[in-house]
Amino acid sequence: MNDIAKLVTVNDSIRVLQSVRRIAQCVEHHSKRLAVTHNITSPQLVALLAIAELGPSTLRSIGRAIQLSPSTVVGIVDRLEEKGLVQRERDTRDRRNVFVAVTEAGQQVLANAPSALPNGFDSLLGSLPETDRQALIVTLEQFASLLEAKIPAEPV
């Protein structure tokens, strides 16, 4: 790779990292605000929404739905259960299986739930032309795939 290509790559990488950091800061700030105003964080709200949509589900299926590892989902579900928003139930046919279901209190939280993203995001996203909105979604999905890619290390 020549020096100009390296410079462009470094500059592009820095811009990408700066944008990711800005996004992460906005999401984290909103999650903290939700915790104060609604007693639920963004990850908890996303998990609760997924459980409500899926119906009684295993930790593994919840994790797949929200792109988190089962071990991370355990902590989120523990906190939701402590708040009385979900309950765990053993499968009557196979006691090794545990299903998580939304409680009545969880349904009430969802009925009044704020957006999992910062205020105004949904309307701003909705104001984009459909082609731009779809392009943004595809680009973000491609970005996530790039980050997840397992690229072998270059030989030294």
CA distances from 86 to 50, 64, 67, 98, 137 (A): 12, 18, 19, 12, 30
Among the listed residues 94, 97, 92, the one whose alpha carbon sits nearest the alpha carbon of residue 57? 97
Q: Express each pLDDT in 85-108 by its tens digit.
A: 999 998 888 878 889 999 999 999
Q: Where are the domains of the chain?
A: 3-118, 119-149
Does the pTM surpass 0.85? The reply is no
The CATH classification of domain 3-118, taken from the options 1.10.10.10, 3.40.50.300, 3.30.470.20, 1.10.10.60: 1.10.10.10
Distance of alpha carbon 119 from alpha carbon 138, whole angstroms: 23
Distance of alpha carbon 50 from alpha carbon 13, whole angstroms: 33
Distance of alpha carbon 104 from alpha carbon 39, whole angstroms: 16
Q: What is the pLDDT of residue 130?
A: 96
The pLDDT mean for the chain works out to 88
Q: Express each pLDDT in 110-156 by its tens digit.
A: 998 888 888 888 889 999 999 999 999 999 999 888 888 766 665 55
Q: What is the pLDDT of residue 6?
A: 61
Compute the average pLDDT of residues 23-36.
Answer: 91
